[in-house]
Structure 1
Amino acid sequence: MQRVHLTFGPFVLDPEKGTLLRHEIPISIGHRGITLLATLAARPGDILTKAELMEAAWPGLAVEESNLTVQIATLRKALGPTDQGGDWIATVPRVGYRFTAPVERAEGSVQRPIAPSGKPTIAVLPFANLSGDQDQHYLSDGITEDIITELARYRSLVVIARNSSFQFRGPAPEAAEVHRQLGARYLVEGSVRRLGSRIRITAQLIDGASGFHLWAQRYDRALEDIFSVQEEVAALVASTVQGAAEADATSRSRRTPPADWAAYDYYLQGRAHYHQYEMDKGESMFTRSAELDPTFAQGHAYLAQCLVARFWYDRDPRTLQSALRSARTALLLDRNDGICNQSMGLVLVHMRQHGDAGLHFQQARTLNPHDVNIAGDYASWLNYGGQPQQSLAVLERAILLDPLPPVWFWEVKGSALFLLGRYADAIDAYRKAGDQFFIHAFLAAAYAHLGEMEKAHVAVEATLRLQPDLSLGYLAHLPFADPSSFEHFLSGFRKAGFL
């Protein structure tokens, strides 16, 4: 059964998918905002009581009427005025609200927008592991991710991020379905088979709209040649799609390949753990990779990121110094690598050297303009610097490339919304951000600012269950450069009951 979506003015609302597009650009209003807007837009012109709307958005819960008022105000701000200058949602005093505009209903799904730049959009689907060993999935996944990274260096292309394209793991999906869901005109598929000290990689480029195969290639190489294969696949894709690869634009940022296959193998295993947020295991793998090949820059860069993650828990200055050493080593080896600059920016943020951190994030974005993880860390830096509105803009652009962003994105987005005073939306975002102690602490602060003290205390208990020795002094270590933003969070922590 097809989904129903609602169109009004420049907006398309898909209630089931939970998306609102304006001129094909996603607008963030949170899941309760989606529910309220869908309830109102489904009955244009009708007066809906406050009780009806509260039951729709908070079914079975006893909540203050002020929550509805805040949500409606947030919706009005997100929608802006109608063409006539009025509100899309009118207040009916002492009764409820009414949706003022005509609404068209249509069956079907809302496609992901094609990149607004008009550049060709490409999705690289997970390469199949044909090695007969399930433990080798990290290898096929790692090769796929490296091809995504290579393609992201071509400024003439827009590349769908890993998190979204990897949802199509498994039996080969229909090209038209991927095109519909991700908005990708071109698809890259392939397979990997490891045969002792050799590797066989197949790759094919498909037109997502027509399903036609544009080219296919097979590579039988020694393991040590894997980087040249990845670069060749990326160059062939770019030249086929764009007409000519932008070699001059990518040569500055090309990675230096590892000299040792075993080092690269540990690096791929580390990255597999990294994407599962198993940072301790990732740290172990990246450490081993760096020991085997001290000249491989990205091994040091990812090690630095894992050490920063550990610093969030142990707050040991020696951990941060180790991260700094790894990030410096990575940059000395390859200062034209986006991930190396990203890692240094991440370390410097936590050392409160925000000016230098910003320079490295901006350099990383110049080198890898379509890297979603770099965009997320840059948005976090903007939050710490007191620029939450700019942070939201960066995140919305990144979500165009990654409809299913990494889970930590929601913490960054939640914090931007928190700093803007949009606490209910911040809570919606934080709830998607995973079961980390600091997420529960942020939730507690948001609930406290809303005056929902019972929920704030529950979040405090969840925080202390995961990090029993957490105190207000610990939370004061959050690396804010902007004093007012820091005080905004700190006052929420105090209200919630952290001591």
Structure 2
Amino acid sequence: MAEFASAVDALRAAIDIQSAVASLNGAAADGERMLFRIGINLGDVIIEQSNLFGDGVNVAERLQTLAEPGGICISRSVKEQVRDKLQCAFTDLGVQKLKNILRPVRAFHVVQPGEAAKPARPGKKPFLRNRRSLATVAAILGIFVLLAGGALYLRPWESIGWVRQASGPPTIAVLPFANLSGEPDQEYFSDGVTQDIVAALGRFSNLHVLANNATAKFKGSDANSAELKEKLGARYVVVGSVRRSEDRIRISVDLTDTDKNLHLWSRQFERKLTDIFALQDDITREITGSLAIKLSSLERDRAFAKETEHLDAYDYFLRGRARLADSERSALMEARAMFEKAVALDPHYGAALEALGQTYQIEATQGWTEFRGEALGRAEAHVREALGLSPELAEAHQTLAFTFLARGEYERAIAETRRAIEINPSDAYGYASLGAMLMWSGDAEGAIAAMERAKIFDPTLHWDSLHVLGFAYYLAGRHHDAVAILEPLTGGNPERYIVYLGLAAAYAELGRTDDAERAAKEVKRLSPFFKTAPFVGQWRDSKSRELLAHGLKLAGLE
């Protein structure tokens, strides 16, 4: 791949290269000849260290597949630039629909010196070769992407990293990195590094990244590519390990293409522990570069934004986040203490401030404080401070959304959740949260769409997300679907009385009286003081309240 300052320079170089290769082939034995195909396109590209990204690259790559062996294929934009400036003839190949390129491209074959002109071939199908042959390497080397004012850039063909998606954004699963430190209490660190890499990758709109919940069960697993593809539906899988010593850290990463059962590359990164943030950036760049993901500068800035350079603050943040994952009030208090220490060490640590605010939001919504309004006020204050420092912090918009929802401010809650999804379009939790917001506001169909989207990124959604989908199905009149979602979620945990509520109403609407009565009894057992009126009163719209109250009444719940 090469980048030139002008289309004329690019085409002149392409002709010189093909001429030189032809001369070498003339002196070579039959089995030693190589034929290059070259594609040239004119367009903007994104430069990221030693990689180029963007539609300009993708179109050039597709154009080279149209070229004959030893030939050059250019786009219409290139032809317009070089016309009358080089002594070349062109054969019109017509408008071509290129793979994974939205707009058709007018393509032209360049008639090189000594080559007889060919008649126009409008609509000619692309000339495809065996992608595993040596010609593939040559074609990759021969992609020319043009950017006005750019400089020459060459990438060695030994580098792996030209994986192309078949259609739509590829799905990637990052399995929990193994803790090789020899100390179980360092598990939070390897898990935290994994989560941060997942979060960074998730901010690229052209990449579907599975949520941590979806991959957690594969921690320490020796599942092969076929099993991972079947169970996760991921085209690419990243596995890794973290070895942390007193002052150094070593992270090993492997990337596999599950479709081809092909190990794409392995990398080992070792730095001083104080360089952990740069190390995570290196890993993210390697993965996205190898997948040839089209990035925008905004997305790149979001992915590589630094929240803190203070290692001890980051360590407290990871410890707090690990405790926050436990659904216990004592764990919440421990997490809050950790986040407070992180903020004390770095008052400008946006992620830690957001997490601190989240502890107050959870405390209020779980009913773990008698001063609910005060807790929600603290949550909003901390989150707004975090957003002042880090406006692109998706988690802050999520926490703010749930704070608004707790106050019954539905529109503001939905707006904040949509903003979080804009920032991180691969966040299963974001879509699940949007589904909850829409369900409580009475938009059942919108909630179903959002929750189904969440399941793409996390096929193993937590029960407290799936029960939302069950209620959305019920409110949409899809009672069989509601039962199918809710039945597997039943259990003796008192928190799950809400699952039995949904089942009781759905069973009753389906005429399954005995099942409805059994579900109603479970509701009364798990929540002895349950009353229908305050429960259905949580919905914003009267239609949803009426539908749910009707089903619960049929089931014998008042």
Task: Answer whether TM exceeds 0.5 for this pair.
Answer: yes
1:259 offset after TM fit, Å? 4.5
Deviation track 1:364-412 (CA, whole Å, cap 9, x = no partner) reads 1111111100000011111122211122122222222322223322112
Deviation at 1:149, TM superposition (A): 0.8
Cα 1:266–1:427 shift into 2, 3 Å: farther
Is 2:240 the partner of 1:190? yes
> 1:471-486 alignment to 2 at 5 Å?
471-472=531-532, 474-476=534-536, 478=538, 480-486=539-545
Q: Identify the residue that residue 129 of structure 1 maps to in structure 2.
A: 179
Task: Judge conservation of contact 1:365–1:375 (CA < 8 Å) in 2.
Answer: yes
Structure 1 residues 72-100: Cα deviation after superposition (integer angstroms, max 9, x where no partner): xxxxxxxxxxxxxxxxxxxxxxxxxxxxx
How far apart, CA to CA, are the structure 2 residues paired with 1:202 and 1:304? 34
* CA RMSD between the two structures: 2.9
Q: Distance between the aligned counterparts of 1:491 and 1:307, measured in 2?
A: 35
* Aligned partner of residue 291 in structure 2, secondary structure: helix
Matched, 1:421 2:470: no
For residues 230 and 295 of structure 1, the distance between their equivalents in structure 2, rounded to whole angstroms, comes to 20
Q: Which moved more, 1:399-408 or 1:299-308?
A: 299-308
2:506 corresponds to which residue?
446
Describe the shift of the 1:456–1:482 C-alpha distance in structure 2 as closer, same or farther (beyond 3 A). Answer: same
What secondary structure, in the 3-state scheme, does the structure 2 residue paired with 1:191 have? strand
Match of 1:348 in 2: 404
Q: What's the offset of the Cα at 1:467? A: 4.2
Q: Following the alignment from structure 2 to structure 1, what is the Cα–Cα distance between the partners of residues 393 and 208?
A: 19
Is 1:143 aligned to 2:165, yes or no? no
Aligned to 2:375: 319
Q: Who is 1:12 aligned against?
A: none
TM-score, length-scaled by structure 2: 0.62
Partner of 2:61: none
Gap change, CA 1:200 and 1:290, over 3 Å in 2: same
CA distance 1:360–1:176, shift in 2 (3 Å): same
> Aligned AA for 1:483?
S
Checking the alignment, whether the CA contact within 8 Å between 1:415 and 1:426 is kept in structure 2 is yes
For 2:205, the equivalent position in structure 1 comes to 155
Contact 2:179 2:241 in 1 (8 A): yes
Change (3 A) 1:355 1:171: closer
Residues 410, 432 of structure 1: 8 Å contact kept: no
1:391 aligned partner: 447
Aligned counterparts of 2:403 and 2:475: Cα–Cα separation in 1: 23
- The 3-state SS of whatever aligns with 1:408 is helix
Letter in 2 for 1:120: P
Following superposition, the deviation at residue 413 of structure 1 comes to 0.7
Query: 1-side partners of 2:525 and 2:310: how far apart?
Result: 43
Aligned to 1:289: 339
Aligned to 1:411: 467
**What SS does the aligned partner of 1:242 have?**
coil
Name the CA distance, whole Å, in 1 between partners of 2:325 and 2:473. 25
**1:380 counterpart residue number:** 436
Counterparts of 1:83-482 in structure 2, within 5 Å, are: 118-242=168-292, 245-252=295-302, 254-278=304-328, 280-293=330-343, 294-314=347-367, 316-433=372-489, 435=493, 436=495, 437-452=497-512, 454-472=514-532, 474-476=534-536, 478=538, 480-482=539-541
Aligned mates of 2:516, 2:391 — CA distance in 1: 44
Q: Any conservation in 2 of the 1:282–1:306 contact (CA below 8 Å)?
A: yes
Contact 1:279 1:306 in 2 (8 A): no
For residues 307-359 of structure 1, give each alpha carbon's deviation from its aligned partner in whole angstroms, at most 9, with x where no partner exists: 44443442833333333333323323322111111111121112111121122
Match of 1:489 in 2: 548
Structure 1 residues 202 and 121: alpha-carbon distance in aligned structure 2, compared to 1, 3 A threshold? same
Q: What is the match of residue 83 of structure 1? A: none
What is the one-letter code of the residue matched to 1:249? E
Amino acid at match of 1:471: K
Q: Supply the AA of the counterpart residue of 2:281.
A: E
Q: What is the rounded CA distance, in whole Å, between the counterparts of 1:352 and 1:484 in structure 2?
A: 17
Corresponding residue SS for 1:431: helix
CA distance in 1, matches of 2:254, 2:441: 44
Gaps in structure 2 of 5+ consecutive residues: 1-163
Identity %: 31
Q: 1:319 to 1:118 in 2, by over 3 A?
A: same
Over residues 10-37 of structure 1, what are the superposed CA-to-partner deviations in whole Å (9 max), with x where a residue is unaligned? Answer: xxxxxxxxxxxxxxxxxxxxxxxxxxxx
* SS of structure 1 residue aligned to 2:463: coil
Q: Secondary structure at the match of 2:411?
A: helix
Distance 1:399 1:317, change over 3 A: same
Question: Counterpart in 1 of 2:6?
Answer: none
Distance 1:259 1:457, change over 3 A: farther
Which structure's CA Rg is the greater one? Answer: 2
The answer to whether the Cα contact below 8 Å between 1:163 and 1:402 also exists between their aligned partners in 2 is yes
- In structure 2, distance between residues paired with 1:225 and 1:476: 52
Q: CA deviation at 1:361?
A: 1.3
TM-score (norm 1): 0.69
**2:238 partner SS:** strand
Q: CA deviation at 1:158?
A: 1.7
Q: In structure 1, list runs of 5 or more residues that go unmatched.
A: 1-113
For 1:203 and 1:355, the matched residues in 2 are separated by 42
Distance in 2 separating the partners of 1:309 and 1:449:
34
1:426 to partner: Cα distance? 1.5
In the aligned structure 1, how far is the partner of 2:312 from the partner of 2:529? Answer: 40
SS in 1 for 2:182: coil
Using the alignment, how far apart are the partners of 1:226 and 1:275 within structure 2?
23
C-alpha separation between the residues in 2 aligned to 1:241 and 1:172?
A: 24
Which residue identity is paired with 1:485? Answer: S
Q: Contact 2:504–2:519 at 8 Å: present in 1 too?
A: yes
| Corresponding pairs, count | 385
Amino acid at match of 1:446: A
Q: Secondary structure at the match of 1:379?
A: helix
Cα separation, 2, equivalents of 1:416 and 1:317? 28
Alignment partners' CA distance in 2, 1:483 and 1:247:
45
Cα gap change, 1:275 to 1:204, in 2 (>3 Å):
same
State the one-letter code of the partner of 1:156.
N
Please identify, of 345-354 and 296-305, the stretch whose mean Cα deviation from structure 2 is larger: 296-305
